[in-house]
Amino acid sequence: MENFFREQQRLIDSIIPTKRYLYSQIDWNTRCIGILGARGTGKTTLMLQHVDDAYRFGGKGLYVSVDSPYFQAHNLFEFAREFHQLGGEALFLDEIHKYPDWSIHIKSIYDSLPDLKVVFSGSSLLQIAKQKGDLSRRAIIYNLHGLSFREYINFIHKKQYPAYVLETIVTDHQQIADNLCREMKILKEFRDYLQIGYYPFFLEGEVLYKFKVREVINHILEVDLPFVNRIEPRQISKIKKLLYLLATGVPFVPNIAKLAEATEISRPSLYEYLEKLQDAKLLNLVRSQGRGYEVLTKPEKILLENSNLMYAITDVVNTGALRELFFVNQLRNAHSIHPLLLESTVELAGSGDFIVNGQHTFEIGGKKKGFKQVSGVADAFVVADDIETGFKNKIPLWIFGFLY
Q: Which one-letter amino acid corresponds to residue 228?
A: V
Of 3.40.50.1820, 3.40.50.960, 3.40.50.300, 2.120.10.30, which CATH number belongs to 2-144? 3.40.50.300
Strand, helix or coil for residue 119 = strand
Identify each DSSP E strand in 4-124 by its residue range.
32-37, 61-65, 90-94, 117-123
Spatial separation of the C-alpha atoms in residues 27 and 18, rounded to whole Å: 19
Q: Are 150 and 357 in contact (CB under 8 A)?
A: no
The pTM for the full model equals: 0.92
Give the CA radius of gyration of the chain: 22
pLDDT over 90 at 27, yes or no: yes
**pLDDT tens, residue by residue, 109-151:** 999 999 999 999 999 998 776 666 678 789 999 999 999 999 9
* Confidence (pLDDT) at 278: 95
Average pLDDT over residues 61-71: 96
> Average pLDDT of the chain?
93
Return the domain boundaries, the chain: 2-144, 150-402
Neighbours of 349 (CB within 10 A): 20
Q: Which of 197, 278, 295, 293 is nearest to 242 (CA)?
A: 278
Q: Are 144 and 42 in contact (CB under 8 A)?
A: yes
